[in-house]
A and B are shown apart, each in its own frame.
Chain A
Amino acid sequence: MRQGQLFRVTSIGVTWFWLGVFALLPNIALLLVAFLDKGETDFFIPVFTLNNFEELFSPIFLTVLWDTVRLAVASTLVCLAAGYPFAYAVAKASPRRRPWLLLLVIIPFWTNSLIRTYALILIIGAQGMMNKALMALGLIASPIEVMYTDLAVFIGLTYTFLPFMVLPLYASIEKLDPRLVDAAKDLGASSLRAFWHVTLPLTLPGIVAGCMLVFLPALGCFYVPEVLGGATNMLLGTFIKNQFLVANNWPLGAAASSVMTLLLIALALVYRTVNRRISGRERRGDMFVSGVEGGA
């Protein structure tokens, strides 16, 4: 009994310590820096100011924020539209075929995502496979310019984060008792209405978890727009990175980063509320755990 408690205190303590030192402290430091002035030679000077947040209301930053949110929302929706049928098919596949289908989703996890992003250039680049194939088929006369556009970034984000959508969806669809769908049909629901009234609401936790797992990283992702996007359309991740590494304006970068963190926290709270309302009080599952556990 006492030994079990010691183990619990230790294991939880270590995790708390780790998160405290490597996540909480840097974020607090970041938040503090956001209220300080920028320096000519130093990264920042310890003078209180709200200038950084004022600057965030400039049209430049608001455009960046709007473009980022728009792209992240679009990628999330496409991932959902593509991921749900796939996750459904995997969940309903025979036990023999299921691991192989799941492997299709998991293999990309094992590959460095930066490498996968570069690999995308081979496909969508001007001399890439896509253009060559389309030209060979005679569908287009000259290569379509996809690289360095919003479209390329959008394709990249969708491609990179699709597995994060599929796994929680798979977990929640697989958990769904098929007899509930039978019951709906038995009570006179067509397949479509049974899906709408039973399958969809009961897999909502998976949908919300998947959307969070795609939307949140898509919002802050900087390497995909860096590699596939052009200099003209900057996204939030790139903006923040530039403030720290290029413009040497730590306070502004910190302010933008803090705003993004607050946005993420707000969304996480939305997720928790939705999840609680669906699963009731018994399952007090952690933020993402309830949606993801079965998938990994």
Chain B
Amino acid sequence: MEQAPVFELRGVTKYFGTTCALHSVNLVIGNGEFLTLLGPSGCGKTTILRMLSGFESPTKGEIFLQGECVNELPPEQRQVNTVFQNYALFPHMSVWDNVAFGLRMQRLPKNEVNQRVAEVLRRVHLEGMADRMPRQLSGGQQQRVAIARAIVNNPLVLLLDEPFSALDFKLRKQMQFEIKHLQRQLGITFVFVTHDQEEAFAMSDRVVVMNEGSIKQIGSPQEIYEEPENLFVARFVGDINVLEGQVTEVRDGGSLTADIEGVSFSLRTRREFSEGDKVKVLLRPEDLKVHLEHEQALEPPFFTGHIDETVYKGATVDIILTLDNGKTLQAAEFFNEDDEDINYRPGEKVTVSWVEGWEVVLEDEEE
């Protein structure tokens, strides 16, 4: 991280009663970045967000905002604003009054309030809606009011708590785009909470994958997807095939040979292994190469198996197949007009392989 951090969490632990919601979390949030906290419900992502906004304080550890410890600083004194889940718009106030609320709390002069509210409403394309009440707006418009109400205060950090959960699919895509666009325009740090990995990948500079109160991996969407550091991240983010293996030979330069599901493959890895180690080999469906057995298109080593089912997905075809040892795999192939050979029939014999180096090798943590 080149820029100075805006938020920093050091060893932050949070207990609710005897339940540990966060376990010794360290996180640096850079100025101007779009950071997403991703994880299943109950993983602690919302707890982190509530500590950044000031609604919770850590049981142990420190939170720094621009270098100052803000453990006990209440939300109203932090230059941080939140877009709440379901928006939490004030139902008894017009759009204008909702957006002006924060500025009025700062007791700014009336003409400055008017000017800033008008400007931010223009920015979120709600110029004509100022006199409407929240209940007279569509979901997408309410969402925009919630965003306008937060960014009008020029926060150091904007927190977004699953802001799209109430929107339908199409609107969600559009709002993702708009929010990403807005973040680039404003240059404000956005911290986004979601359980939807596609949403996280589409918007974020960095993704923090969490589970059971601790951080499992921090990285760019690409790093998270292609180089998962553990099985939780690998399985949580997208579809993945997990193959069982055992190291049979270790060579210099990150290369090794392993017996995988009964077949000996050469693998590449940055991790250290020694002979006899049990490993998991991770392969994304789109990384697998599937060919009909009689075509003899693949050089060994490869697996042999048979097709169970193909699922037409428009741009791709998902292939479910079973290896000869009974292991089920999922592969995905892109349609190619010239190439008809991805029309498999159930029961057809196939060979399966992948490009060496595309695999991720992890130690077997489930032992």
Question: A8-41: contact bitstring with B at CB < 8 Å (1 yes, 0 no)?
Answer: 0000000000000000000000000000000000
Q: Is A187 an interface residue (CB 8 A)?
A: yes
Report whether B102 and A187 are in contact in the complex, using a CB–CB cutoff of 8 Å.
Answer: yes
Q: Is A122 an interface residue (CB 8 A)?
A: no
Report whether B82 and A186 are in contact in the complex, using a CB–CB cutoff of 8 Å.
Answer: yes
Report whether B105 and A183 are in contact in the complex, using a CB–CB cutoff of 8 Å.
Answer: no
- The contact of B90 among A183, A185, A278, by CB within 8 Å, is A183
Residue of B nearest to A198 (CB): B90
Q: Is B53 an interface residue (CB 8 A)?
A: yes
Q: Is B230 an interface residue (CB 8 A)?
A: no
A188, A189, A193, A201 interface centre (most CB from chain B within 10 Å): A188
Report whether B76 and A190 are in contact in the complex, using a CB–CB cutoff of 8 Å.
Answer: yes
Report whether A182 and B105 are in contact in the complex, using a CB–CB cutoff of 8 Å.
Answer: no
**Cα distance A189–B81 in the bound complex, in angstroms:** 12
B73 to chain A, nearest CB (A): 12
A84 to chain B, nearest CB (A): 18
Report whether A185 and B133 are in contact in the complex, using a CB–CB cutoff of 8 Å.
Answer: no
- Interface of chain A, main secondary structure: helix
Residue of A nearest to B85 (CB): A179
Report whether A179 and B105 are in contact in the complex, using a CB–CB cutoff of 8 Å.
Answer: no
Report whether B88 and A179 are in contact in the complex, using a CB–CB cutoff of 8 Å.
Answer: yes
**Cα distance A180–B54 in the bound complex, in angstroms:** 15
Report whether B92 and A185 are in contact in the complex, using a CB–CB cutoff of 8 Å.
Answer: no
Q: Is A202 an interface residue (CB 8 A)?
A: yes
Q: Identify which of residues 186-231 in chain A touch chain B, using a CB-to-CB cut-off of 8 Å.
A: 186-190, 193, 197-198, 201-202
Question: B68-99: contact bitstring with A at CB < 8 Å (1 yes, 0 no)?
Answer: 00000011110011101010111110000000
Q: Is B106 an interface residue (CB 8 A)?
A: yes
Report whether B153 and A188 are in contact in the complex, using a CB–CB cutoff of 8 Å.
Answer: yes
Interface size class of A (residues with CB under 8 A): 20 to 34
Residue of A nearest to B149 (CB): A187
Residue of A nearest to B136 (CB): A280
B57 to chain A, nearest CB (A): 14
Q: Is B335 an interface residue (CB 8 A)?
A: no
**Cα distance A189–B76 in the bound complex, in angstroms:** 6
Q: Is A282 an interface residue (CB 8 A)?
A: yes
Residue of A nearest to B74 (CB): A185
Q: Is B180 an interface residue (CB 8 A)?
A: no
- The contact of A182 among B75, B92, B153, by CB within 8 Å, is B75
Q: Is A121 an interface residue (CB 8 A)?
A: no
Q: Identify which of residues 165-190 in chain A touch chain B, using a CB-to-CB cut-off of 8 Å.
A: 177, 179-180, 182-190
**Cα distance A103–B185 in the bound complex, in angstroms:** 56
B266 to chain A, nearest CB (A): 55
**Cα distance A179–B50 in the bound complex, in angstroms:** 12
**Cα distance A187–B105 in the bound complex, in angstroms:** 7
Q: Is B181 an interface residue (CB 8 A)?
A: no
- The contact of B135 among A185, A193, A198, A280, by CB within 8 Å, is A280
**Cα distance A187–B145 in the bound complex, in angstroms:** 14
Report whether B105 and A186 are in contact in the complex, using a CB–CB cutoff of 8 Å.
Answer: no
**Cα distance A184–B90 in the bound complex, in angstroms:** 9
**Cα distance A190–B81 in the bound complex, in angstroms:** 15
Residues of B within 8 A of A186 (CB): 53-54, 75-76, 80-82, 84, 150
Report whether B135 and A282 are in contact in the complex, using a CB–CB cutoff of 8 Å.
Answer: yes
A189 to chain B, nearest CB (A): 5
Q: Is B15 an interface residue (CB 8 A)?
A: no
Residues of B within 8 A of A278 (CB): 92
Q: Identify which of residues 91-123 in chain B touch chain A, using a CB-to-CB cut-off of 8 Å.
A: 91-92, 101-102, 105-106
- The contact of A202 among B80, B86, B92, by CB within 8 Å, is B92
Q: Identify which of residues 133-163 in chain B touch chain A, using a CB-to-CB cut-off of 8 Å.
A: 133, 135, 149-150, 153
Report whether A188 and B92 are in contact in the complex, using a CB–CB cutoff of 8 Å.
Answer: no
**Cα distance A193–B105 in the bound complex, in angstroms:** 8
Residues of A within 8 A of B102 (CB): 187-188
Q: Given A182-B75, A182-B84, A188-B105, 11 other A-B contacts at CB below 8 A? A: A180-B88, A180-B91, A184-B101, A185-B74, A186-B53, A186-B150, A187-B101, A187-B149, A188-B153, A202-B92, A280-B135
Chain A interfacial positions (CB closer than 8 Å to B): 177, 179-180, 182-190, 193, 197-198, 201-202, 278, 280, 282
Could you list 15 examples of A-B contacts with CB < 8 Å?
A177-B88, A179-B84, A179-B86, A182-B75, A182-B88, A183-B90, A185-B74, A186-B76, A186-B84, A187-B76, A188-B76, A188-B153, A189-B105, A190-B76, A197-B101
Name the 7 nearest CB pairs between A and B, nearest first: A187-B102, A188-B105, A183-B88, A179-B88, A185-B75, A186-B82, A185-B76
